[in-house]
A and B are shown apart, each in its own frame.
Chain A
Amino acid sequence: MALVNPDFAEELQAYGVDTALECFNCGTCAAICPLLFEHFPRKMIRYVQVGAKQKILEQANDLWRCLHCGLCTRTCPRQAGPGELILGLRRYVVAQARRA
């Protein structure tokens, strides 16, 4: 049973991830993503929302699958910028790796 960590979303703001909570989990980004990979990128965004830091670090490789095609950002009905969030998460993961 994972405890929700609401501080994580705030921690990520330094890496340019500041619209994750505007996502309402409709899944349009995952449907239009050419990777057709699990629930990518919504999965990562949801992990940000509930503060599942460990899950993001464990699945960090997936962040580098993204092709930067921009389809998700263009179609997001809430203008949550999923593509930009993935870029921000990469910056966060890199910073974590450097610190380690």
Chain B
Amino acid sequence: MAKRKQPEPKPAPPSTAKVGVYVCHCGGNIGDAVDVKQVCEQARRAPGVVVAREHMFMCSDPGQEMIIEDLKSGLVDQVVVASCSPSLHETTFRSVMVRAGANPYLYEHANLREQVSWVHHGPEATGKAARLVAAAAAKAGQLTPLEPLKVEVQPRALVIGGGTAGLKCALDLAARGQAVVLVEKSPFLGGQAGQLSRLAPGGETAAEVISELAGAVLAHPAVTVYTCSQVTGFEGYIGNFKLKVTRMPPEGPEDDERLAAVGRSGRGLGEYAPFAGVMPTAIPERPEEIDLQAGVIVLATGMRPYRPRRGEYGYQDFPEVVTLPEFNRLLAEASAAGDTLELQGRPIRSLALVHCVGSRQIPGIHEENEGGYLNEYCSRTCCAAALFAANLVREQYPKTRVFDFYRDIRTYGRGQEELYTRAAKKQAVFFRFEAGEEPEVLKNSDLKGPPLLVKVKDILTFGEELSVPADLVVLAVGQEPNNIADLVAKMKVPVGADRFLQEVHPKLRPVETAVAGIFLAGTCQAPLDVGETCAAAGAAAVKAAAILSRGYVELDPFVVEVDLSRCTGTGACVEACLADGALSLVEMEAAGQKVRRARVNPVLCMGCGACVAVCPENAINVQGWTLRQFEAMVEMIVSDEYIG
């Protein structure tokens, strides 16, 4: 559990403070608008300031060395750097403190760039800069050394979802020597990929990919797999998540379909069954609850293919309209040889493919889906999957013609453009439509011809209206995130406008969520293909393993602390607290009497300060941001004593 060194109770009085102020020109970014020399001069007059220096680039090595020297020589104890925004360089200068052997929390940052030079000019700019620096120096004089919170980590990872991402992530974690619990809702491992036949663009079979992954996971002694299981209870924080997993017999048509597929295939437990996946164990007969603790959680809850509305491109109105995943199943049942593809005894001489079904929907142009949302994103994987299917058909059944209707061809990745070129070489005919002028699927009035007619206003033919008779229309459907509203509500992980789970930063922190210790892997985050999913899962495994193998995590100590000499146990703080469990009232002895006093769980505290605002006794304060420190800052901002 959480351990913390108590800081010195009494802040050093301002008179004994030795504050060093370091003002940065930021090239000309600050220096062009702010008179840095004057800021330094005024800073020297502020109480507690023993030295004020300037530098062209304080973040450069010489700038940092200057600060380190002053700290090491004992000239200064507290440091103020006045430069860019703290989000850019606060950590840089805190680590300067550490390198000088000082406490990193005896540091205060003043923002003279975003808050001054970029928005003000002339004498006012210099005046504001001087006040901000004086305020920061006043706060610095009040700072006390703090220690980061240290939280022990339960040596176990929980991976939620047994598809490609979950399997790969569990395997990579186990390979790093970490214990893993893998929880999968359905009776199967393999997820959506396990229900495909061949994978674009390379053509590997789902059977080999999923057999290898699931086989290795099931054989690994460090991985415990629970199928037919869901996470039904969640509490705790990074390093100490407490979870309840409920195992119960599956229900729902999707699982029934896959169970039937296993029956037909004649495969046993632990073996890959086409269009189902790998069923590792028998289905539980009665519900069962499992309690477990985990240090980290990886969400690999995956996606589902978009299901077209009734009537969308004739889906469900005509039996000859199918989705691409449905088509792949039909294709697997068809005879592998022959000039013309035959599906369920019906020759398919003309096959139409439609791209972007359920993707790239535009408000005001496209109809909202059930639930009132639009999928405005590109699903990325369907172009390659559609072209892969087109090539497969053209190569195996040369008398089956393929007509491809696209809005844009987005063959973005390695091996994908080749699929597009190959489709043209194999004589597929392409048509292009505008958004909002999607092709129409109609009944063919020529009763001797194929049953359907696909009508399109074709951009490639100068906007002329063309129609193509079709025996089968295949809809290249996109990806939608699985509905995990219950998990989202429990874990409070952020969800994007596209309903996929959202990372902290798309480039710099692509597999972390805003909830510390919870990571993302695979298509719960965005539409991805199997290769991309494995890459993402590997990244999540590394991030998770880094926490587990270290054994503890360090958190910033900016959390509240109760001053028991002032607390009277009003409970106002507990009521105002926004983080469940961070504050509570506990019984304790004070002067021989039993009293109730506030107690903080520092690991759960977010440092928001809601409690500080409501405490009538001023008995609670955020460390590093105490009311006394704020008062010192305000005094300097309004004072005309030192700043002219």
Residues of A whose CB lies within 8 Å of any CB of B are 1-4, 6, 9, 21-25, 39, 43, 46-47, 49-50, 52, 78
CA of A50 to CA of B467 in the docked complex: distance in angstroms?
10
B429: contacting residue among A3, A39, A50, CB under 8 A? A50
- Report A-chain residues with C-beta under 8 Å of the C-beta of B428: 21
Q: Is B465's CB within 8 Å of the partner chain A?
A: yes
CA of A4 to CA of B424 in the docked complex: distance in angstroms?
17
Q: Can you pick out 30 interface pairs between chain A and chain B where the beta carbons lie within 8 Å of each other?
A: A1-B465, A1-B467, A2-B464, A2-B465, A2-B466, A3-B466, A4-B429, A4-B466, A4-B467, A6-B350, A6-B403, A6-B429, A21-B429, A22-B424, A23-B424, A24-B424, A24-B430, A25-B460, A43-B462, A46-B460, A47-B461, A49-B429, A49-B430, A49-B460, A50-B429, A50-B458, A50-B461, A50-B466, A78-B421, A78-B424
Beyond the given A2-B464, A3-B468, A52-B461, could you list 4 further A-B residue pairs with CB under 8 A, ordered by the A residue number?
Answer: A4-B468, A23-B424, A25-B460, A78-B424
Q: Is B427's CB within 8 Å of the partner chain A?
A: yes
B424: contacting residue among A2, A21, A46, CB under 8 A? A21
Most buried by A among B401, B461, B469: B461
CA of A1 to CA of B458 in the docked complex: distance in angstroms?
11
B425: contacting residue among A22, A25, A47, A52, CB under 8 A? A22
CA of A78 to CA of B462 in the docked complex: distance in angstroms?
21
Q: How far is the CB of A53 from chain B (nearest CB, A)?
A: 14
* Interface contact B469-A3, CB-CB below 8 Å: yes
In this complex, what residue of A is CB-closest to B401? A6
Chain B positions 423-466 with a Cβ under 8 Å from a chain A Cβ: 424-425, 427-430, 432, 455, 458, 460-462, 464-466
CA of A21 to CA of B403 in the docked complex: distance in angstroms?
11
* Interface contact B468-A1, CB-CB below 8 Å: no
In this complex, what residue of A is CB-closest to B468? A4
Contact A3-B467, Cβ < 8 Å, known A9-B427, A50-B429: yes
CA of A50 to CA of B464 in the docked complex: distance in angstroms?
11
Contact A46-B425, Cβ < 8 Å, known A4-B467, A4-B468: no
* Interface contact A2-B467, CB-CB below 8 Å: yes
Q: How far is the CB of A64 from chain B (nearest CB, A)?
A: 21
Residues of B in contact, count (CB < 8 Å): 23
Q: How far is the CB of B527 from chain A (nearest CB, A)?
A: 24
CA of A2 to CA of B455 in the docked complex: distance in angstroms?
9
CA of A16 to CA of B53 in the docked complex: distance in angstroms?
81
- Report B-chain residues with C-beta under 8 Å of the C-beta of A46: 460-462
In this complex, what residue of A is CB-closest to B350? A6
In this complex, what residue of B is CB-closest to A6? B401
In this complex, what residue of A is CB-closest to B420? A24
- Report B-chain residues with C-beta under 8 Å of the C-beta of A23: 424
- Report B-chain residues with C-beta under 8 Å of the C-beta of A22: 424-425
In this complex, what residue of B is CB-closest to A2? B466
* Interface contact B424-A1, CB-CB below 8 Å: no
Q: How far is the CB of A96 from chain B (nearest CB, A)?
A: 21
CA of A6 to CA of B470 in the docked complex: distance in angstroms?
12
- Report A-chain residues with C-beta under 8 Å of the C-beta of B468: 3-4
- Report A-chain residues with C-beta under 8 Å of the C-beta of B464: 2
CA of A23 to CA of B424 in the docked complex: distance in angstroms?
7
In this complex, what residue of A is CB-closest to B464? A2
Chain B positions 390-446 with a Cβ under 8 Å from a chain A Cβ: 401, 403, 420-421, 424-425, 427-430, 432
CA of A10 to CA of B44 in the docked complex: distance in angstroms?
89
Q: Which 4 A-B pairs have the closest CB atoms?
A: A25-B460, A4-B468, A21-B427, A22-B424
- Report A-chain residues with C-beta under 8 Å of the C-beta of B425: 22
Q: How far is the CB of A75 from chain B (nearest CB, A)?
A: 17
In this complex, what residue of A is CB-closest to B453? A3
CA of A60 to CA of B430 in the docked complex: distance in angstroms?
24
Chain B positions 449-496 with a Cβ under 8 Å from a chain A Cβ: 455, 458, 460-462, 464-469
CA of A4 to CA of B430 in the docked complex: distance in angstroms?
11
CA of A22 to CA of B458 in the docked complex: distance in angstroms?
18
* Interface contact B401-A1, CB-CB below 8 Å: no
- Report A-chain residues with C-beta under 8 Å of the C-beta of B466: 1-4, 50
Q: How far is the CB of B493 from chain A (nearest CB, A)?
A: 42
- Report B-chain residues with C-beta under 8 Å of the C-beta of A1: 455, 465-467
Give per-residue flags for B265-290: 1 if the beta carbon is below 8 A from chain A beta carbons, else 0: 00000000000000000000000000
- Report B-chain residues with C-beta under 8 Å of the C-beta of A49: 429-430, 460
CA of A24 to CA of B417 in the docked complex: distance in angstroms?
12
Most buried by A among B427, B462, B468: B427
In this complex, what residue of B is CB-closest to A4? B468
Most buried by A among B401, B420, B430: B430
Q: How far is the CB of B464 from chain A (nearest CB, A)?
A: 7
CA of A85 to CA of B480 in the docked complex: distance in angstroms?
44
CA of A63 to CA of B256 in the docked complex: distance in angstroms?
61
- Report A-chain residues with C-beta under 8 Å of the C-beta of B430: 24-25, 49
CA of A21 to CA of B465 in the docked complex: distance in angstroms?
19
CA of A21 to CA of B462 in the docked complex: distance in angstroms?
17
- Report A-chain residues with C-beta under 8 Å of the C-beta of B432: 25
CA of A62 to CA of B513 in the docked complex: distance in angstroms?
62
In this complex, what residue of B is CB-closest to A43? B462
CA of A4 to CA of B432 in the docked complex: distance in angstroms?
14
CA of A46 to CA of B462 in the docked complex: distance in angstroms?
9
Q: How far is the CB of B379 from chain A (nearest CB, A)?
A: 22
CA of A52 to CA of B458 in the docked complex: distance in angstroms?
13
- Report A-chain residues with C-beta under 8 Å of the C-beta of B429: 4, 6, 21, 49-50
In this complex, what residue of B is CB-closest to A39? B462
In this complex, what residue of A is CB-closest to B459? A25
- Report A-chain residues with C-beta under 8 Å of the C-beta of B403: 4, 6
Most buried by A among B429, B465, B468: B429
CA of A3 to CA of B425 in the docked complex: distance in angstroms?
23
- Report B-chain residues with C-beta under 8 Å of the C-beta of A39: 462
In this complex, what residue of B is CB-closest to A25? B460
CA of A25 to CA of B464 in the docked complex: distance in angstroms?
15
- Report B-chain residues with C-beta under 8 Å of the C-beta of A43: 462
In this complex, what residue of B is CB-closest to A24? B424
CA of A9 to CA of B401 in the docked complex: distance in angstroms?
12
CA of A49 to CA of B423 in the docked complex: distance in angstroms?
14
Q: How far is the CB of B394 from chain A (nearest CB, A)?
A: 11
Q: How far is the CB of A8 from chain B (nearest CB, A)?
A: 11
Most buried by B among A1, A2, A46, A50: A50
CA of A43 to CA of B455 in the docked complex: distance in angstroms?
20
In this complex, what residue of A is CB-closest to B454? A4
CA of A22 to CA of B424 in the docked complex: distance in angstroms?
5
Q: How far is the CB of B209 from chain A (nearest CB, A)?
A: 31
Q: How far is the CB of B429 from chain A (nearest CB, A)?
A: 6
Give per-residue flags for B97-131: 1 if the beta carbon is below 8 A from chain A beta carbons, else 0: 00000000000000000000000000000000000
